[in-house]
Structure 1
Amino acid sequence: MKTQILYHAKQCGEDECCGFVIDNKTYIPCDNISNDPKNHFEISPDDWITAEEQGVITAVVHSHPDGLPILSEADQIFQQQTAVDWWLVCDNQIHKFRYMQPLIGREFIHGTTDCYTLFRDAYHLCGFNFPDFHRDDDWWDNGQNLYLDNMQSNGFHQVSISSLQEGDVILFSLNSKTVNHAAIYIGNNLILHHLPKRLSKRDLFSGYWLKNYHSIWRHKQWQPSNFMAILNNMAINTK
C-alpha cells in the first residue's frame, strides 16, 4: 500500500494527489477535482460513495508536493469533519496524523484527555510521536515523576526562561513537590494547557503560572516551522 500511495503522488506531479485507505490495508486513488489542484484537493461525492461501499474508510490521503509535512489549517478543519486519520505525502514520505479533538476546548478526563494528552497531541501534529502510557490519578503523590523521568528520553533538553520560544514545553509543580503539569508556550506570553475540571485553553504565562513553573524544555529536533501545525489547529476554534 505504501508503494501505491507514493507512486500515485509521484504521478500527480505538482498537483496534490488524493485517495482513501480502506480497512487499514487497501489504497484507493481518486481524482483531484479542485479548481486549484496545485494548492488544494477535493474528492468527488461519487468517489466517497464508492470508497464507503468497499469497506471502512480509515484514512484520507493527500500530498503536499512543494509544501510542509504538516496538515494545513484547511486540512485540520476538514479532518474534524471526516473524523478519521489523515495521511500526508511529502518529500516521498508518508506522514500519518491520527484523528484527535481540537487542542482548545477539550473536556478533562484523566488519562484520556489531560495535560499530557494535550502535550502529546500537539507535538504529534508537528511530526513527533511520543508514547502514551497508563497514569493513575494523583500519580505525583505516589512516588512517580512521569514528566521528568521521560523528557530527556524523548529528545528534550532543558533551556532557560530567557530563551523561551514558541513550542517549548513548560513544566509546573501545582500543589505538589513533584512536577505534575505541562503546558506549551504559544507566544505573546501565552500558554496552551489543560487543567482538571476545565476545558483546555490559553492562559497568560504570568502571576500564578510564572510563580509555579518548574522548568522549560525544548526538543532537540524542533524547528520554528513545526509550530505552524499547532497554530493551524488552534485556528479551528476561530471558525
Structure 2
Amino acid sequence: MSYPFIEAFEDAKAHARREFPKESCGLIVKGKYIACENIASDPSTHREDDRDCGCQLCSFEISGKVYAKHEANIDVVVHSHPNGPFFPSKADMEGQLLTEKPWAILVLDEERAASKPVIWGGDISPVLGREFMHGVTDCYAIIKDCYALGKDKLAEQGIVGWPHDPITIPEFPRQDAWWEGDDDLYEENFGKAGFVETKDAPQPGDVFLMKIRSSKSNHAGLLIGDSLIVHHLPSRLSRREPAGLWGRQATKWLRYKGAAADA
C-alpha cells in the first residue's frame, strides 16, 4: 500500500462499516485513529438529491471540543462517503481549507469494503502520470501544483523551462461538473489567483483556457519549455503534449502578474 497510517486507516474503515449508511468521521492523531461521533443532522431530515443536505447520510460534523482537544496533533481528518463519490464535495474542499489539515475520504457500499483512502491537502504528488480526480488531481490542481512546486522541483520531475520560483495560488472549492451549473471556475477566479489575460505570444508559465463541449472555459493547462504543455483531462493521466494543437484551440491565455491581479 502506498498511503501512510495503514493501521489507522484500517481502523477508520472498520468504523465506516459500523456507521454505514451514515457518514463516519474521525481523526488520525499521532498515527492512531480516533473514532468521532458525527453530530450532523439526524437522517430523518434527509433531502434527496440535494447537494447541500446536512444530515448524517450526506455530511459529517465533529464536535468543536473534540477537534480542539486534538488539533495540534492531527495528522488527517477522515470521513466516509457511503455509496460514493470517491472525490471531495465542495463542502469537503471548504472544510479542508478551513482546518489546514490533510483530509481523507473512504468510500463503501452495502457489500464492498471501504476503499483505499483518497487523501488531499497534504504533500503534492508528482504532476505527470496522475489519475484524474475532481478537486484533488484535476486540471486546476495541476496548475496550482506546478506553481507551488516552482522551477527547481519541477526540473527534478523532468519538466524544464518553468520560469517561476514557488508561488502559492488559491484553491477554489468546486462541485463536480461545475460548468453545467451557475459556477464559472476559471472566468470568475483567474484574477483572484493573480492572472491577467494576455494577447502577447504565449511564454512558459502561461495558462490556456479551453471550452470542451461547453459554453464555459472548463479546461485549462500550462505552457512549459520546448513548446510543450502540461494538462490533465478526465479519464486520462496527466501528461505533456505538443503545444500547437492545444494552443490553436485555446479561447484565452493568462499570465501570472501577482496576487489578486485585476482581471
TM-score by length of 1: 0.49
Structure with bigger RCO (C-alpha 8 Å, 6+ apart) = 1
Return the structure number with greater strand share: 1
TM-score by length of 2: 0.45
